[in-house]
Structure 1
Amino acid sequence: MAQVTTLEDLPVSAAPRLLTDSLGNEVTLDDPASLSAIDDFVGGFIACEARAANVLEAADDSGPLVQAYCAALQMFSESRDGVPNARPFLARAQQDIGRATVREQGFIAAVAAWVDGDIDRAIALHQAQADQHPRDLASVKLGQYHCFNRGDGPGMLRLALSALPHAADVPYLHGMVAFGYEQCHRMREAEASARRALAICRKEPWAHHALGHVMLTEGRLSEGLDFMCSVSDSWTGLNSFMVTHNWWHVALFLIDLGRDTEALAVYDRHVWGVAKDYAQDQIGAVSLLARFELAGIEVGRRWDDVATHLLTRLNDHTLPFLDLQYLYGLARAGRPEADTLLQGVVAHAPLAPASSRAAWERVCVPAAHGLLAHARGDFAGAIEGLGMALPRLAEIGGSHAQRDLFEQIHLDALVKRGQPNTLAAAQGLLQQQLNTQPESLRLRWQTAAVYAALGLPRVATITG
């Protein structure tokens, strides 16, 4: 099939079908009974619900969109198996693309670009879908996913706002808008959009997530904790990422408020153990255990269980953001395979797809060296490696709150290095953070310790 870069490049479709999905988009199916599986994928994907996987039950339907949805589902594994598992579905979708609608053809082309590793083209096609078929919210959500993995907040926002005039009745779109605004540091608009979503549907976990981000960023820690707990009863039927990640945010509030025992309980009950083999659950566990330790909270033997599951990730190299956390988790557990993963990252970086190669080479590689150094007590090495990566850290994707882990590790290395210049640098960073988050007991303790090390204990008392 010839490469498609815009919707105009697509072949002319067959006559429109009469069947429509839950958002009013026409779909091409062999068996009308497959429509429920289509609706489960679309509705489940935008609502972060596990029912999205039900599309696999219709995999025998040769309808091209069914096959494209199945291919996308395979890619969401975020593992080395994603591409080979997706290709048979994609091939069937492309084989029948001539009878698909223009909208379906655009989605198939975008998934093909994803499978081929051409994320620039995938994002461009999703933006074209948002402009021309704005109620294709599964496409909007997938486009946001790609932008998120590149640290492109404006791209996330542009996709959602393109669809908003035509799908304002859908609460999940307001959640997408909210997170796009939050990643662009537009907190007032983010909160307004999240609350608009919740006014339509209380069970909108992505809007909960966006509002949790706003409150964390603005230092509204007690309010954020109360809010997230107040809606946690609605976190049912979600995919493992969404339920564990929202509880991960609850744990962040608890850590900063000094409620260590409760934070550990959240980890044990809600963060680790839902889907231990899933990439997002694994990095959620790694990043939370690391934050516990950085806050002075003992984690016992918890690293060991996580590391056992990370051993399957040594050759994945799907996203640099994931590899860095796999590496740190293995290193903190004392696993020698951390060196193997580091070697794999270094070898993969120059071979990565063009659209992500700079992120691998200029950010992931130095960050990986820095993280391994920190995990093994080489704080000078950690400062050097992470110091090189931090100015461009957004390029590896993840949210501001997630990437904050690497900044915390770098800060910890500055403190533990204990030199006058590194302590001075740590003081500047910590005091600025404390100024914006005065409720944070974690930051108070860390700042006080640095002032004491600098011979300024009285200033630490005033700061607290």
Structure 2
Amino acid sequence: MPAARSDSLGNPLTGCDSDAALAAVNDFVEGFIACESRAVHVLACAQEDESPLVQAYAAAVHMFAETPEAPHHAQPFLARAQAGAQQATDREQRFIAAVAAWVAGDTRRAADLHEEQARLHPRDLASVKLGQYHRFNAGDAPGLLRLALHAAPACADVPFLHGMLAFGWEQCHALEQAEAAARRAIALRRKEPWAHHALAHVLLTQGRIAEGHAFLAEMSETWVGLNSFMVTHNFWHQALFALELDRPEEVLALYDRQVWAHEKGYSQDQVNAVSLLARLELAGWDVGPRWHELGEFLAPRTADQVLPFLDLHYLYGLARAGRTEAEVLLRHLERHAQAEGGVWMQVALPAARGLLAHAQGRFPEAAEALGGALPRLTAIGGSHAQRDLFEQLHLDALRRAGALSGAQHLLQQRLRATPESLRLRRQARALYECLGLAAVAPVFGA
């Protein structure tokens, strides 16, 4: 029997006969692709409505917690989705199968199913967005872009698709295409925070610091009703521009009022906070007691090992807070790496050892370990801007270990790429003075 209803993007639905169920589906679909908090409304509906897609969406919401317990919490909803899958459409069955693969820990299989969905049902943008999430966490930038390109011909009218395209282009270093896609998204809908985010990446990468700072300041009035990750992360980007402009008071205010002011128990909010405090310190600014408060929220994370990108931030934050849980997390990570191999063993573990060494002041060891991990760091996931923290820590470790020529090699490249950065100019002047080159520092833009 044909499905009687469709979601707001025109995808037919099985079940969802009540207005409440249809509203919950659309809240998830629209909320997810718009990075809005209403996506979680599907959880309440899933307690009453047995529609397979409602149940699958509820399972996905639980998985986004990014904790070891998330699969257990998602399983009852997934089981109900699977029980009704035979009556569901081909599209719904594939989405359920992708969520099942995610719950089982097979994110590569999940991403492949979402990509197949993008080819066959390109208006299923919730599936495209979820597929991009998996490709992103695997460090697969081409896959991130490919998913959005599959959907693009059928979704030219949807601003959120252009935002997804923009981020895919940017992560593949196609900055002109990324900017065009982001600006197309914003022209269709000014409140498109993912497009704001993608354009912030472009402007930061191209060294357009003042422009990026002004752009995000203008767009920030639209960041209402968003999920905590999106609002904290976009303000994190605003803070990065302020940091390059050597405005530590503004950065600290953004940290206190936005970056670390929402869902303090959530993984992504914690990552944003760790990253920003670390960058402030690397820029030479005092962050006061903020590490200690953040460490209280990181302490329960020692046995997580869900995504290596997350673990590395937890570890550094715990170490900077002076907590013994940092060593506990490293031991757990070592055991997990022995069992899992792959990126955990080859990339995450040496990076973790380097991060702990840096936080504890063992700079020669930090420089060696981080230098060995950096060439393969894309495999841990995260964006270029996020992984730049580890490159900054490596540069700092070189400088503090006395490897000044190596530090000059890296710092000067950064300064040439971002001549507007007052932070880099100040750091370069100090480095050239240590090198006995203070008199010619202006030649280098310092």
2:238 is aligned with 1:250: yes
Shift of 1:30: 5.1
Partner of 2:163: 175
Contact preservation (8 Å) 2:5, 2:16: no
Partner of 2:187: 199
- 1:29 maps to what in 2? 15
- Out of 289, 297, 311, the position equivalent to 2:299 is 311
Q: Show CA shifts across 1:221-271 (max 9, x none).
A: 000000000010000000000000000000000001111111111111110
Pick the aligned partner of 1:99 from 87, 103, 108: 87
RMSD: 0.8
* Higher mean C-alpha deviation, range 323-332 or range 109-118: 109-118
SS of 2:49's equivalent in the other structure is coil
Equivalent position of 1:444 in the other structure:
425
Alignment of 1:225-374 (within 5 A): 225-352=213-340, 357-374=341-358
1:7: which partner in 2?
A: none
Equivalent residue runs for 1:387-402 within 5 Å: 387-402=371-386
Unaligned stretches of 5+ in structure 1? 1-14
Confirm or deny that 1:159 pairs with 2:153: no
The whole-number CA distance in structure 1 between the counterparts of 2:368 and 2:409 is 18
What is the CA–CA distance in structure 1 between the aligned matches of 2:2 and 2:360, rounded to whole Å?
61
Partner of 2:130: 142
Percent of counterpart pairs with the same letter?
61
1:48 maps to: 35
Contact 2:5 / 2:17 at 8 angstroms: preserved in 1? no
Aligned equivalents of 1:137, 1:108: Cα separation in 2: 15
Corresponding residue SS for 2:262:
coil
Q: How many residues align?
A: 443
| 1:29 and 1:35 in contact (8 A); partners too | no
* 1:321/1:398 contact within 8 Å kept: yes
Amino acid at match of 1:411: L
The Cα shift of 1:31 comes to 3.7
User: 8 Å contact 1:31–1:61 — kept in the other structure?
Assistant: no
Distance 2:43 2:8 in 1: 18
Q: CA deviation at 1:461?
A: 3.3
1:369 alignment partner AA = R
Give the letter for the 2:258 counterpart.
H
- Which residue does the alignment assign to 1:456? 437
Task: Give the deviation of 1:459 after TM superposition.
Answer: 2.1
Aligned match of 2:107: 119
Q: Deviations over 1:203-231 (max 9, x none)?
A: 00000000000000000000000000001
1:98: how far off?
0.2
Spell out, residue by residue over 1:313-340, the C-alpha distance to the aligned partner (whole angstroms, 9 max, x if none): 1111110000000000000000011000
Amino acid at match of 1:27: L
1:350 offset after TM fit, Å? 3.0
Letter in 1 for 2:359: A
2:364 paired residue among 376, 380, 398: 380
Describe the superposition over 1:369-393 as per-residue Cα deviations: whole angstroms up to 9, x where unpaired: 0000000000011012111210100
Map of 1:3 onto structure 2? none
Q: Take 1:365 and 1:459, find their aligned partners in 2: how far apart are those partners?
A: 40
User: Structure 2 residue aligned with 1:430, among 400, 411, 421?
Assistant: 411
Q: Distance in 1 between matches of 2:378 and 2:390?
A: 11
Query: Which whole-Å deviations, capped at 9, do the CAs of 1:77-111 have from their partners, x for residues lacking one?
Result: 01112111011111111111100100000000111
Distance 2:180 2:59 in 1: 35
Post-superposition shift, 1:450? Answer: 1.6
State the SS of the aligned residue for 1:144: helix
* Partner secondary structure for residue 226 of structure 2: coil
- Identify which range, 449-458 or 285-294, moves more after superposition: 449-458
1:16 has 2:14 as partner: no
Q: TM-score, normalised by structure 2?
A: 0.98
Asked if structure 1 preserves the Cα contact closer than 8 Å seen for 2:244 and 2:421, the reply is yes
Unaligned runs of 5+ residues in structure 2 are none
Aligned counterparts of 1:66 and 1:235: Cα–Cα separation in 2: 27
TM-score by length of 1: 0.94
State the AA in 2 paired with 1:370.
Answer: G
